[in-house]
Amino acid sequence: MPPTRRDVLRGLGLAALATPLAACATAARDAAPGPTASAAATSANNPLGVDAARRLEVVIFSGGNGDKYAVDLHEAAYRRTYPQAEIKHVATQKVGTQLRPRFIAGDVPDVVNNSGPEALDLQSLVQEGHLADLTPLFEAPSLAFPGKKVKDTLVGGAYENSLIDGVPRVLQYTVAHRALWYNAKLFEAKGWSVPRTWAEFNALGEEAKKAGIALFAYPGQVGPFYQLWNLIYSAAKIGGNKVIIDIDNLADGAWTAEPVRQAVAAWAQIQKDYGDKAYFGLDHTQTQVKHLQDKVLFYPCGSWLENEMAKDKPDTFEYAIAPVPSITSADALPYEAIMIGVSEAFFVAAKGKNPQGGLEYLRMMLSREGARGYTEMTKNLTIVNGLVDGLQLTSAVNSAAKAQEAAGKNTITDARFETWYKELFDYGQTQTNSVMAGRITPDQFCANMQKKADELKADSSIAKQTRSV
């Protein structure tokens, strides 16, 4: 008798049960710890104990900044110091897809530029012990400033941002300034001045409306996080950096705090009165092109913006940064405050074959040639202080540098829940679109975000992070 479909299905079911589960690619979590490569002897010239002949593998996210800088600057420097060592350079746009199987198999690269849309989740890497402790790097002598430790040559916040569970594990290489961007030439031509208060902001909105320009727009389709950032930084302006620290710490009532509600309500009002709902369906590039066409006055973004839009920028446009206007008269931070943050994550694999070489590679990235060359090549400032004198920078970066000077100590801190609790951040993006489009009220926004934050807090499968500054 020929087998019926039923028999085949039953057979398959039995086969599935019979498959020894342990034989699959996944085993129970008592896997032996990966090999820890032994260090060579340390010396003054070799404080990290690099084995001069050992191979080094570097994975670079080849996005807006390309990967040429790594080959020409940092790998070249490593090769000069350790000519016997073979360097394997890997450029990819899919860091996660390419590396995830290698982390599972235990064949990991030494240095990883964990950026881009498919970056690996750092939290789970830490949980599995994959990220090397960067303390030796931060304590090592700097190659940029003789006599100083690496840690002491960096901008404020760079070290704090490297910490995961209190241990430095990820180096954020570049500095970016985030606030509102506008066309300085347009303002000059129209005789407008940059608004400092919410009343002035509204008044300018009326003026712009007459000229057929939307006062403000953000890309709702791809990049609503630009506006989520903007909401959070505005809230910090009202209530101080504590607002952001509470949010990051998943503190009770962090999202329902009055500064958050005020900031969200203020921006929802601007969108309602002077915005254009078409932008909810545009991506960041489309929105940025419209900004360049002077259809939008203010755009919330970071100082990489000019680099990104260099090809499309007409001569009539000059990027300049403006702080978010003061929302209340009793804001905790002055008008000049802007957000200064770090990005472009690099880490060294703890279970790689050459972790010492990886640390040394990062030290070379933070050297004078490494960091200054990077700024020259990609027009991004690095976290190493005081290396950019005499460099040709974009007007956006120059404007940001001036704004940084004006802000002085009044800088808005970065929100770390973006990487700590990506789920909360993604949920925040959908809620931002909702509240800006008027589908929910600012109060509902705060309540929904708080509910999600509380859920994550109660979820034991997610490792929690805390920060005090």
Partner 1 sequence: MRRHGFVAGFLLLPVLLYVVFVISPYVQAFQIALTDWRGVSAGLDFVGLDNFRRMFGNETFWQAIRNHLVLLVAMPLATVSLALLFAYLLNVAGGSRGGTMTGVKGSGFYRVVFFLPQVLAVAVVGVLFKAVYRPDSSGVINGVLVKLGMEPVGWLTDQRLALWSIIAVMVWQAVGFYVVLFSAGMAAIPKDVFEAASLDGAGRTRMFFSITLPLLWDTVQVGWIYLGIAAFDGFALVNVLSMEQGGPDGATTVLATEIYKNAFSYSRFGYASALGVALFFLTLTFAALTMRVTRRERIVY
Residue 255 binds to partner 1 (criterion: CB under 8 A) = no
Least distance to partner 1, CB of residue 290, Å:
8
Site for partner 1, residues 262 to 281, rule: CB under 8 A:
276-281
What would the two tokens of residue 172 be? 């954020």
Pick between residue 107 and residue 133 the one whose CB is nearest to partner 1.
107
Q: Which of 42, 434, 444, 466 binds partner 1 (CB under 8 A)?
A: 434
Site for partner 1, residues 113 to 172, rule: CB under 8 A:
118, 120-121, 123-125, 127-128, 130
Pick between residue 461 and residue 468 the one whose CB is nearest to partner 1.
461
Which positions from 282 to 301 touch partner 1 by CB under 8 A, shown as an x/- string? Answer: x---x---------------
Pick between residue 8 and residue 199 the one whose CB is nearest to partner 1.
8
Least distance to partner 1, CB of residue 12, Å:
7
Separation of first and last alpha carbons in the chain? 75
Pick between residue 155 and residue 289 the one whose CB is nearest to partner 1.
289
CA 274 to chain centre: 29
Which positions from 17 to 56 touch partner 1 by CB under 8 A, shown as an x/- string? Answer: --x-x--xxxxxxxx-------------------------
280-295 burial string, b = 16+ CB within 10 Å, else e? bebebeebbebbbebb
Answer for the pair 368, 375: CB distance below 8 angstroms, yes or no: no
Question: What is the identity of the amino acid at 335?
Answer: Y
**Interaxial angle between packed helices 422-436 and 442-458, expressed in degrees from 0 to 180 and rounded to the nearest 10:** 170
Answer for the pair 62, 344: CB distance below 8 angstroms, yes or no: no
Distance CA 438, CA 445 (A): 10
Stretch of residues binding partner 1 (CB under 8 A), selected from 53-61, 79-87, 104-112, 411-419 = 104-112
CA 279 to chain centre: 23
Residue 6 binds to partner 1 (criterion: CB under 8 A) = no
Pick between residue 258 and residue 423 the one whose CB is nearest to partner 1.
423
Q: Which of 233, 178, 248 is nearest to 399 (CA)?
A: 178
Pick between residue 272 and residue 277 the one whose CB is nearest to partner 1.
277
User: Which residues are bridge partners to 348 per DSSP?
Assistant: 111
| Cβ atoms within 10 Å of 190's Cβ, excluding its own | 16
Write the CB contacts of 355 (distance below 8 Å, at least 6 apart in sequence): 36, 37, 110, 132, 348, 349
Q: Which of 458, 461, 468, 469 binds partner 1 (CB under 8 A)?
A: 461
Q: Which residues in 34-114 belong to E strands, given as ranges?
A: 56-61, 87-92, 111-113
The binding site for partner 1 (CB under 8 A) comprises 12, 15-16, 19, 21, 24-31, 96-97, 100, 103-106, 118, 120-121, 123-125, 127-128, 130, 220-222, 224, 276-282, 286, 422-423, 426, 429-430, 433-434, 437, 439, 461
